[in-house]
A and B are shown apart, each in its own frame.
Chain A
Amino acid sequence: MSAGIAGQFRSRAAEADAARFGLWIFLATEVLFFGPLFMGYVYGRMHLGDAFAAASRHTDVTIGTLNTAVLLTSSFTMAMAAEARRAGARAARGLLAATALLGCAFLALKGFEYHAEWREHLVPGASFAFDAAHARGAEIFYYLYFAMTGVHAVHLTVGIAIVIGFAVRFDRANAGHVEIAGLYWHFVDAIWIFLYPMLYLVGRAG
Chain B
Amino acid sequence: MTYLGEGYTLRSWLSTHDHKRIALLFAISITAFFFIGGAAAAFMRLELATPAGDLVSDDTYNRLFTAHGVIMVWLFLIPSIPNVLGNFLVPMMIGARDLAFPRLNLASWYVYMAGGILVLGALISGGVDTGWTFYTPFSTMFSDSHVVLTLAGVFVLGVSSIMSGLNFIVTVHTLRAPGMTWFRLPLFVWAIYATSIILVLATPVLGMTLTLVAIERVLGVGIFDPALGGDPLLFQHLFWFYSHPAVYIMLLPAMGVASEIIPCFARKRIFSYRFMAYAIIAIAALGFLVWGHHMFVSGQSAYASIVFSLLSFLVAIPSAVKVFNWTATLYKGRITLSAPMLYAWGFVGLFTIGGITGLYLASLALDVHLTDTYFVIAHFHYIMVGGSVMAYLGGIHFWWPKATGRLYPEMWARVSAVLVFVGFNLTFFPQYLLGYQGMPRRYHAYPAEFTLLNVFSSCGAAVLAIGYLLPLVYLTWSLLRGAAAGDNPWRATGLEWQTPSPPPKHNFEDTPVVEAGPYEYEGART
Contact = CB atoms under 8 A, between A and B. Distances in A.
A, B co-complexed? yes
B204 A140 contact: no
B174 A139 contact: no
A40 B102 contact: no
B169 interface: yes
Contacts of B238: 36, 39
B229 interface: yes
A197 interface: no
Given A18-B174, A137-B229, A29 B219 contact: no
Contact of B98 (A8, A33, A139): A8
Contact of B234 (A34, A39, A124, A128): A39
Contact of B170 (A21, A36, A43): A21
Contact of B208 (A7, A18, A21, A35): A35
A77 B195 CA distance: 39
Contacts of B91: 8
Contact of A33 (B207, B230, B234): B207
A26 B169 CA distance: 11
A125 B222 contact: no
Contact of B223 (A8, A10, A25, A40): A40
Helix, strand, loop or mixed for chain B's interface?
helix
Contact of A34 (B102, B166, B208, B220): B208
A113 B228 CA distance: 26
B166 A32 contact: no
B212 interface: yes
Given A8-B97, A18-B170, A37 B221 contact: no
Interface residues of B, number: 42
Contact of B212 (A7, A126, A147): A147
B230 A140 contact: yes
A143 B175 contact: no
B201 interface: yes
Interface in A38-88: 39-40, 43, 47-48
B174 A21 contact: yes
Nearest to A34: B208
B96 interface: yes
Contacts of A140: 221-223, 228-230
Nearest to B212: A36
Contact of A18 (B100, B202, B506): B100
Contacts of A17: 174
A101 to B, nearest CB: 30
Interface in B243-266: none
A147 B170 contact: no
A22 B103 CA distance: 13
A36 B242 CA distance: 11
Nearest to B218: A125
Nearest to B230: A140
A10 B176 CA distance: 11
A14 interface: yes
B162 interface: yes
B228 A8 contact: no
A124 B204 CA distance: 25
B506 A32 contact: no
Contacts of A21: 169-170, 173-174
A43 B209 CA distance: 14
Interface string A94-136: 0000000000000000000000000000001110100000001
A35 B169 contact: no
A131 to B, nearest CB: 16
Contacts of A40: 212, 223, 234
A28 interface: yes
Contacts of A26: 166
Contact of A48 (B212, B229, B234): B229
B229 A33 contact: no
Interface of B: 91, 96-102, 162, 166-167, 169-170, 173-175, 200-205, 207-209, 211-212, 215-216, 219-223, 228-231, 234, 238, 506, 511
25 contacts: A7-B97, A7-B506, A8-B99, A9-B100, A22-B170, A28-B201, A29-B200, A29-B201, A30-B204, A32-B202, A32-B205, A35-B204, A36-B205, A37-B208, A39-B234, A124-B219, A124-B220, A124-B221, A125-B221, A126-B220, A140-B229, A143-B219, A143-B221, A143-B223, A144-B223
Given A47-B229, A47-B231, A136-B229, 20 more contacts: A8-B96, A8-B102, A9-B100, A18-B175, A25-B166, A25-B169, A28-B201, A29-B200, A33-B204, A33-B207, A33-B208, A35-B204, A36-B205, A36-B209, A37-B212, A40-B223, A136-B222, A137-B229, A140-B221, A147-B211
